[in-house]
Structure 1
Amino acid sequence: MRVVVVGASGNVGTAVLRALAATDEVTTVVGIARRPPEDRSPPYDSVTWLSVDLAARRGVEDALTEAFAGADAVIHLVWAIQPNTDRDYMRRVNVSGTERVARAVVRSGVPHLVVASSWAVYSPVDDDVPRDENAARAGIPSSHYSVDKAAQERVLDEFEATPGLTITRMRTALVFQGEAGAQIVRYFLGPWVPTSLLRTGAVPVLPLPKGLRLQIVHGDDVGRAYAAVVAHRAGGAFNVAAADTLWPRDLAGILARGHHVELPPEVVRPFLHYAWRARLVASDAGWLDMAMGVPVMDTARIRDLGWTEQNSAEDALREVVAGIREHRGTTSPSLRPDDTRFGGPIESLTPAPTDRDTDRGYRMLPPGALAARVSEHVDADLLGLYLSDHLTGATAGTERIRRMAHAFADTPLGRDLATIRDQITRERELLRELIALLGLRRRPHRQAGAWVAEHVGRLKLNERLVGSSPMTPLLEVELMRSAVSGKEGVWQTLESLAAELRLPPTVFADLAEDARRQRATLDRLHRDLLPDVFAAGPGGDRGSLAHSSPERGPGAT
């Protein structure tokens, strides 16, 4: 069997790849992601990868149709969790993206479409009676995730009668695994929630909403469920969850040595809502509403296929809590660990300093640079002012490119921007060390002012205190492109003065060439952004790159 997995690099996608690799019936796997993993370690190594962005305006269905040709099954996993402030983008990916995949499946004649649905598709209930797959599925109105899942299934309803096409809906509970720890921090907790609180006993008493009940399933068990329905070409809906349901006492046993207090959900909800509005947490109150309202799922149908979980819900929760504490992930962009930068840490790209360099504190300068000095033919005061001004610009530029590399991390340009980020960070350090080595004044107050001005200036890019304008990425690229052009000038100047400074001119010639390559990358990004920034579409939709965010990775179901 040839299986195509759309959204193969995410939490569920990674587990599905592992399961398909262990399934005898599956001989070929094609993985589709907006930004495929570049480090092809298992389970990403035995997959043929293609890059397709479901939110792009043009060419998506043609690219998918070509990729699906000859496939026996297509597994569709793409789902946007963030940015949850941009509903237009999320609907375009989650609902319209599913429609695009389904149309491409029909066009290419694939006989089996398997789609990642969710327990969130079900209508709210106020009891604990297990429901099978025939339960009402209108979703939880106050949960964007649930509303979109219900809308996604309505899209599938429209394709259900297609001759020769089997559609499978995988209604999974919360999907946890240790490797998703860092992703869960980004998607649901945010940077301000101290993950150290997740150590057992760190919180003496755990406050929890009264009546909370959670169904959980381990990622590997979900992967095996997908492999089972593909192997059997089983159609219809399947509830997938571990047998045990977790209650507040179970959560407290894992996180607070059993000590907990149950609070009315209507008391908890305002705190969560305003914490989300203040950007203190990543999850909005809709997630609480969904957790309190969804029914307990009856999983008999998937078990009739011979599936059974190998991990209990409690085991899966303990594993993901450990993964969150340790910021665990994989080499996939979607599951990247928080402490790993695209392109590798800056230190890994920097040559190890010699003992003499270390003794002097100069780590970025080339061998032989320690003999540098300003000759009598050069005005040291003017040179110091010139280099200090460029260091001031480099300080602001470093902050901007770091933010851009983070914002575009999950796009096809993510690695190029990460390379520019690392290069500019090293270049700023080299410039700082050069000023010190030549005995010139650095004027640190200017660099501090540039740092503050750059952060404050972000408000003027879109005139919004919270959130971003579709125009913001375009303006930032243009500002960064101007800064890189100016940086090229300082390296050219230093190349011409190298003999007077007793420095090798080739160092600065290479840096100038790097600047030209950086500008070419930014030119390419500008061309990609421009067509969609000012284009209005249905519901105010705009292009996918114009709204780029670090959390727009595939496979976040």
Structure 2
Amino acid sequence: MKVVVVGATGNAGTATLRALHQTPEVTEIVGIARRLPEQDVEPYRDCEWHSVDIAAASTAEDAVAELTEIFREADAVIHLAWLIQPNDQRELLRRVNVEGTRRVTEAVAGAGVPHLVVACSVGSYSPDEARATDEDPPLRDESFPAEGIDSSHYSVDKAAQEKVLDDFVAAHPEIVVTRLRPGLTFQADAASEIQRYFLGDAMPVQLLKAGRLPALTVPKGLLLQAVHADDVGRAYAAAVLKRLPGAFNVCADDILGPQELADIVDHGRVMLVPAGVIRPALAAAHKAGLVPADAGWLDMGMQVPLMDNTRAKEELGWQPQVTAADALRELLDAMIEGHGHPSPPMVPRKKDDRIVSAIHEPAGVGAHAGGGAAPEGGSEELPEDLTKDLISLYLSDHLTGATAGTNRIERMAADFVDTPVYADLAGLAEGIRANREFLRNLIDDLGFARRPYRQAAAWAAERVGRLKLNGRVIERSPMTMLLETELMRSGVQGQVGLWETLHEHAGELGLDREVFSRLIEDTHRMLETLEKVHAYARSRALRDDRETFWD
């Protein structure tokens, strides 16, 4: 059996690949994502991979044609792709999530795939009035209305996705369409992703490692249904094998109320607050950029029905193997540790710990080959013909530039998510960030001071530079990508010079020369990617007849 998974690198996608690998009937797996994962790591290994932009910056004609070709001879397509952020680009979210689903269905029909399985959600459901009136609201089966919750963009789009599927079922009765509606989906590998999408850095969950909260503040009436990602993956695998039409609720059997949440997050002490008090605070925090999640997520959590998972158990033969409480406990512990997985959506918070040290033979007693910071003042045993102060200043200046460059490229990747060059920019951001962390570790290993005030100044200067309008006040200037790319190209070219200089003096500094040979090659490839981005930008930035942010 050949199965194609669209959106195979995120929380549900990674778990689904694990489950499919464990399903003997599945003999061939094809993964599709806009940005591809590290393919030598489980569960991405032993899959055929394709990079496809289903709707962010592609035309319907191109996306459907590309997907149709990949889908040919597949026994089933599992569609999991969904864009959670950025919240402030509402049209982009709807295009990717709703129009993207439509394009997948058209490709399924065009390729003659007999079975389509789609990730819907508990968020598809309409508000359940019993949630506001009953302390113990009833469980609802899949017949409950799925028209969404108006104040939640996620819920509105999930309901719109269901309408796309309704229309597709009516037009193509020969194709079996299965919809899974999972609850909140947790796993350790998704910890940093979930924190990034919903909590952000302003809510430092990792501080819980030092001690628990005195009490957990919870909206009165909050009841959550969750499921471990591996149980979700097994549900998708079961759906592929059973090939049954219709919707299936997927959730653990236990329900998380205020006391259950408090038992997991702190010492069991809970403070109930009316949702009407918390909602304005959440809305303000989101508007100020402190929290990624908007108030619509709270509305959805307070209003969606509690799901009955009986149909999934009886007809798919599925059983949850992890309780909701244990899934949340695993997620929280992993958040505290900054855990993740080597795929673009799930990159760990401590993503730069993978940097390999360049220390070959430490240059002196001040050098710390293990990566820890050496005492300020550095090595006292460098060769006499090398000037310690000049080397220290040289590396510190490059670290300052690398800090500004990292901030710039990460902002570019976020700002241009709706362009065909987003994947290139996001990949550059990872590489440039890794180079910055490598240089930071190297300065520590050699025993030099980083001069953090310089990096702080670079950080501030880069953010002030964001205020330039490039000829536009309200909308993005088409010139911005062009100018930003030229600045990045200059900075990366300077980094080539740094690696060449360190390669030249590697022996005297006790460094591994081969490391810098590889860095020179990698940085030249970054320049080639920036040239590709620049070519895209320069062909559009100074014209009125071509869109900069659309292919």
TM-score by length of 2: 0.81
* Contact 1:390/1:487 (8 A) holds in 2: no
Pick which of 219-228 and 197-206 moved more.
Answer: 197-206
- Cα deviations across residues 422-450 of structure 1 (Å, max 9, x unaligned)? 4466679989999x99xxxx999887755
Q: Is the 8 A contact 1:80 1:94 kept in 2?
A: yes
Query: How big is the shift at 1:51?
Result: 1.2
User: 3-state DSSP class of the match of 1:50?
Assistant: strand
| Structure-2 change in CA distance of 1:45 and 1:465 (3 Å) | farther
- Contact 2:149 2:300 survives alignment (8 Å): yes
Give, in angstroms, the shift of residue 390 of structure 1. Answer: 10
Residue in structure 2 matched with residue 136 of structure 1 by the alignment: 145
1:125 matches 2:128? yes
Sort the Cα spacing of 1:213 and 1:469 in 2 relative to 1 into closer, same or farther, 3 A.
farther
User: What is the alpha-carbon root mean square deviation over aligned residues?
Assistant: 4.3
Structure 2 match to 1:113: 116
Cα 1:471/1:338, change in 2 over 3 Å: farther
SS at match of 1:411: helix
1:500-515 alignment runs, 5 A limit: none
Q: Deviations over 1:481-529 (max 9, x none)?
A: 1334566689999999x9xx99xxx99x979887654432211222345
Q: Which residue is 2:70 aligned to?
A: 67
**8 Å Cα contact 1:34/1:412 also seen in 2:** no
Cα offset for 1:94? 0.7
Deviation at residue 464 of structure 1 after TM alignment: 10
Alignment of 1:42-61 (within 5 A): 42-54=42-54, 55-58=56-59, 59-61=62-64
Q: Secondary structure at the match of 2:13?
A: helix
Query: Which amino acid is 1:288 matched to?
Result: L
Aligned to 2:348: 337
Does 2:175 match 1:174?
no
Structure 1 residue 163, shift from structure 2 partner: 4.0
CA contact (8 A) 1:393 1:483 kept: no
Cα gap change, 1:32 to 1:470, in 2 (>3 Å): farther
Query: In the superposition, relative to structure 1, how do residues 400 and 472 fare at CA in structure 2: closer, same or farther (>3 Å)?
Result: farther
- Is 1:289 aligned to 2:289, yes or no? no
Q: Distance in 1 between matches of 2:464 and 2:433?
A: 20
Match 1:308 to one of 296, 319, 324: 319
Q: What letter is aligned with 2:145?
A: A
Alignment of 1:156 with 2:165, yes or no, is yes
The code of the aligned residue for 1:525 comes to V
Please tell me whether the aligned partners of residues 200 and 256 of structure 1 are also in contact (alpha carbons under 8 angstroms).
no
Letter of the 1:57 counterpart = S
Contact 2:226 2:324 in 1 (8 A): yes
Structure-2 change in CA distance of 1:493 and 1:270 (3 Å)? closer
Query: Does the C-alpha gap of structure 1 residues 209 and 423 become closer, same or farther in structure 2, counting only changes over 3 Å?
Result: closer
CA distance in 2 between counterparts of 1:468 and 1:192 reads: 27
**3-state SS, counterpart of residue 460 of structure 1:** coil
Question: Which 10-residue stretch deviates more, 108-117 or 37-46?
Answer: 37-46
**Paired residue for 1:327?**
338
Matching residue of 1:477: 485
Q: 2:218 aligns with which of 197, 204, 208?
A: 208
Q: How many residues align?
A: 519
> Residue 73 of structure 2 aligns to which amino acid in structure 1?
G
Q: How does 1:35-46 map to 2 (within 5 A)?
A: 35-46=35-46
Amino acid in the other structure paired with 1:419: G
Match of 1:278 in 2: 288
Whether 1:187 aligns to 2:197 is: yes
Mapped partners of 1:229, 1:396: distance in 2 = 51
Question: Does the 8 A contact of 1:199 with 1:255 survive in 2?
Answer: no
Is the contact made by 2:409 and 2:488 (CA closer than 8 Å) also made in structure 1? Answer: no
Q: Which residue of 2 aligns with 1:401?
A: 406
Task: Could you tell me which runs of 5 or more consecutive residues in structure 2 were left unpaired when the two chains were aligned.
Answer: 131-136, 372-380, 415-421
AA aligned opposite 2:405:
R
One-letter amino acid matched to 1:159: F
What is the deviation of 1:324?
A: 1.5
Q: Are 1:6 and 2:40 counterparts?
A: no
The 3-state SS of whatever aligns with 1:356 is coil
Residue matched to 2:417: none
In the alignment, residue 400 of structure 1 is paired with which amino acid?
Answer: G
Contact residue 353 and residue 363 of structure 1 kept, 8 A: no
Q: List aligned pairs for 1:429-468, cutoff 5 A.
A: 449-460=457-468
Q: Once the 2 structures are TM-superposed, how far is the Cα of residue 235 of structure 1 from its aligned partner?
A: 0.8
- The residue aligned with 1:521 is 529
| Matching of residue 247 in structure 1 with residue 254 in structure 2 | no
1:304 is paired with a residue of what secondary structure?
helix
Aligned-pair distance for 1:220? 1.3
Query: Which amino acid is 2:159 matched to?
Result: A
| AA partner of residue 210 (structure 1) | K
Q: Deviations over 1:154-183 (max 9, x none)?
A: 111121121421111111111111221111
Give the corresponding residue for 2:423. Answer: 411
Maintained 8 Å contact 2:126/2:145:
yes
Contact 1:198 1:321 in 2 (8 A): no
Deviation of 1:317 (Å): 1.5
**Contact 1:535–1:542, Cα closer than 8 Å, also in 2:** no
Higher relative contact order (CA 8 A, sep 6+): 1
What is the identity percentage for the equivalent residue pairs of Structure 1 and Structure 2?
47
Match of 2:86 in 1: 83
Q: What is residue 418 of structure 2 aligned with on the other side?
A: none
Comparing 71-80 with 221-230, greater Cα deviation is found at: 221-230
TM-score normalized with structure 1 length? 0.80
Relative to 1, partners in 2 of residues 1:146 and 1:200: Cα closer, same or farther, differing over 3 Å? farther
Give the partner amino acid of 1:160.
Answer: V
- 8 Å CA contact 2:124–2:147 kept in 1: the answer is yes
Classify the secondary structure of the residue corresponding to 2:291: coil
For residues 321 and 115 of structure 1, the distance between their equivalents in structure 2, rounded to whole angstroms, comes to 28
For 2:99 and 2:195, locate their aligned partners in 1 and report how far apart those are by CA, in whole Å. 27
Unaligned runs of 5+ in 1: 376-383, 545-557
